Amino acid sequence: MTSRTQREREAEEALDAINKKTGRNMPQAIATAAVLVAVILACLLISRDLFVLLIVVFMILALWELRVDFAAAGLHIPVVPLWICSAVTLLATYYAPHHIVAMAACTMASAVVVALSAGVRAKLGDRLSEAVSAKLAHTGASAEVRSLFVDEDGERRHSPASHVAVSLLTLLYLPLLASCLIISLTFNGHPVAHGIMLVFLPALSDTGGLFAGAWLGKHKLSPRISPKKSVEGLIGSMLFAMVGAFAVFACTYDAALWATRWWVPVVAGVMIGAVGTFGDLCASMLKRDIGIKDMGHLLKGHGGVMDRVDSILMAAPFTCILLWATGL
């Protein structure tokens, strides 16, 4: 009994050390990741329409998280117009006969609608104020700091141009980049392989970077922006993405294509690892500027939806162009 108790204590200490080094609850993170993988694969295999709908749902949740995050810094984004414009853009990109034209036209029209909406002066609602207070409380901010995002009368401290700029950034960051996920389903006749590559390879890259950084990381990649990122983690990200790309290619394409496209998984792995890490650093810089730890708390062990999709969104246009240009 004593020996068993000692082993359990050692296992708990080892798990606590891993959680501390990775910055997350690993059992929760693994369980959440397994559920997400099952849901995404089911949507891809059952129907492309379901997968497109799933992307729309994730974008709606991510936009809500960004609304709360920016509100914590006193910045307002018009979430309802963004929800409508994002859904229209993503659905039109998939269902319109000319996908890229539809994406461009909807994005330009959305920019006008969102800019006008962001310029309208509006007070924060009670639910948003409560969500902001909860987020700032989670970061350990004092009551005085939590009261800084609005004046006593509820008016924000930023100029209208700041709200417009942040709203347009959100439009370009979420629905525009997410449209590349949808466009990948529309060419060369391999929608499932394309969906897996654009969604799971960045996630696999994140996993490789997480484990390589936790066990081997010694050389900091950008300590000012993200202290946990390391050069070893970046290399692990590239290698994991490369292995995943080879696996997807082996299960999808025939030998004739392999003879002339064997280098594409290598390029994809290096590119996704580098761009995905850059996306993580951009998100970390944004969180540091706002003064929050996580973008949200919707996914147990992972933070928010934005914490999971930042690298996927950043890598999407590059991977989409690579697959289209190589005819895969």
Question: For 233-255, what is each residue's pLDDT tens digit?
Answer: 888 889 999 999 999 998 888 88
Question: For 55-70, what is each residue's pLDDT tens digit?
Answer: 999 999 889 888 888 8
Given this model, what pLDDT does residue 302 score? Answer: 52
Report whether 322 contacts 267 (CB < 8 A): yes
Report the percent of the chain where pLDDT is more than 90.
Answer: 30
Transcribe 183-250 into DSSP letters.
Answer: HTTSSTT-HHHHHHHHHHHHHHHHHHHHHHHHHH--SEEETTTEEEEEHHHHHHHHHHHHHHHHHHHH
Question: For 92-149, what is each residue's pLDDT tens digit?
Answer: 999 999 999 999 999 999 999 999 998 775 454 445 555 555 555 555 544 444 444 4
Nearest to 85 by CA among 68, 108, 65: 108
Alpha carbons 271 and 274: distance in angstroms, whole number: 5
The model's pTM: 0.79
What are the boundaries of each domain within the chain? 17-44+190-328, 47-183
- Cβ contacts of residue 184 below 8 Å, gap of 6+? 191, 194, 195, 197, 198, 316, 319, 320, 323
Given this model, what pLDDT does residue 21 score? Answer: 55
What count of other Cβ atoms lies within 10 Å of the Cβ of residue 149? 20
Alpha carbons 129 and 213: distance in angstroms, whole number: 37
